[in-house]
Amino acid sequence: MYSQGLIGADGRSDETPEFLAAFQARVDAEEKIEPNDDMPEGYRRTLVRQIGQHAHSEIVGMLPEGNWITRAPSLRRKAALLAKVQDEGGHGLYLYSAAETLGVTREQMTEELLDGRAKYSSIFNYPTLSWADIGTIGWLVDGAAIMNQIPLCRCSYGPYARAMIRVCKEESFHQRQGYEIVMKLAQGTPEQKAMAQDALNRWWWPSIMMFGPHDADSQHSDQSMAWKIKRFTNDELRQKFIDATVPQAEYLGLTLPDPDLKWNEEKGGYDHGPINWDEFWSVVKGHGPMARDRIKARRKAWDDGAWVREAALAHAEKRKVRREAAPLAAE
């Protein structure tokens, strides 16, 4: 039984082996689990954590790209970047709604993000230092997100799967748009080409780290695979991403910053050099170059906006009172 470790995990007496087996059978039959269905507490908690992290990543991810909206080098690019960053906010909104179906509120999740309890993707703790970073993020980071998220469209939890279908469509549009920005630079002036190469040098390794630790070192994987929250392992997804990206870089005439990258005929994929896991863990644990600034910016927006949210609530309350009083006054 996959979930023995979680029996009684939250003091729930009804998570008998029979209950867990029946749940697993539904998952195995590819039935979608819906918000009002019985589910193991461990399943619920895993999803809350994963969907919450995903939502936070979309929201924090608005910051590095938002950093270039006011400097986009043409009006067409400015509009496209604004629309992209807005899409990411929309993804955050669907994902918070999906998580809310599991009994947490957006406010709770926001508090957890701001006080550092909740995590978000390590990639957004790197700074965006040139216009080329905007193209490179679209190409690599949205590209990596798609690899991760396409299988999530078949996730066993219905609301998450449905949110992902909508999100994935937009992410692939972002990926194509990002690639097109880099292409323009790669075919541009020597300075533009150098800018593109520099961005690739900085974003390549963090992008392939986005898939998480190697399978052998990944904690939550087995149970998530059994529950069909996850469909592929970290290493499988990373491999797919690398195999898709190498020819794209070649086409652009840019060099991926990994001297060990080479085609392995036998496995039908690329081998890559060693990943700097010290850097990965340090960034995941909140020591990335921009980690403090990102949370500070989110906290500032939240704190500065408190009076607006309070006013909206107060107004709604006053309106309700006035509406209820109106018919009485008329009598």
Binding site for Fe ion (CB under 5 A): 58, 88, 91, 142, 145, 171, 174
The answer to whether the CB of 120 falls within 8 A of the CB of 62 is: no
Lookup result for tokens 């690019």: 77
- Altogether, the residues listed in the chain come to a count of 331
Q: Is 308 in the site for another protein (CB under 8 A)?
A: yes
- Are 143 and 211 spatial neighbours (Cβ–Cβ below 8 Å)? no
**Quick one: which of 276, 315, 320, 325 contacts another protein (CB under 8 A)?**
315
Q: % helix / strand / coil in the chain, to the nearest 5?
A: 70, 0, 25
Question: What is the Cα–Cα distance from 200 to 205, expressed in whole angstroms?
Answer: 9
SS3 of residue 270 by DSSP: strand
Tell me if 178 contacts another protein by CB under 8 A. no
Binding partner of residue 318 among Fe ion, another protein, none, CB cut-off 5 to 8 Å per kind: another protein
Q: Which is nearer to another protein, 25 or 313 (CB)?
A: 313
> Torsions phi, psi of 271, nearest 5?
-90, 145
Number of residues that bind another protein (CB under 8 A): 49
Taking alpha carbons only, the member of 283, 300, 303, 299 closest to residue 291 is 283
Is residue 54 a contact residue for another protein (CB under 8 A)?
no
Q: Could you say which of another protein, Fe ion, none residue 158 binds, taking C-beta under 5 to 8 angstroms by partner kind?
A: none
Binding at 174: pick from another protein, Fe ion, none (beta carbon under 5-8 Å per type): Fe ion
Whose Cβ is closer to another protein: residue 22's or residue 301's? 301
> Residue 106 binds what, of Fe ion, another protein, none (CB under 5 to 8 Å, by partner type)?
another protein
Angle at 273 between CA 268 and CA 278, to 5 degrees: 135
Instruction: Choose, by CB under 8 A, the member of 4, 13, 29, 76 that binds another protein.
Output: 76
Written as six digits, the tokens of 325 are: 């009083």
CB nearer to Fe ion: pick between 95 and 195: 95
How many CB atoms neighbour CB 222 within 10 A? 13
Asked if 78 interacts with another protein (CB under 8 A), we say yes
Of the pair 108, 218, the CB lying nearest another protein is at 108
At its nearest, how many Å lie between another protein and the CB of residue 63?
5
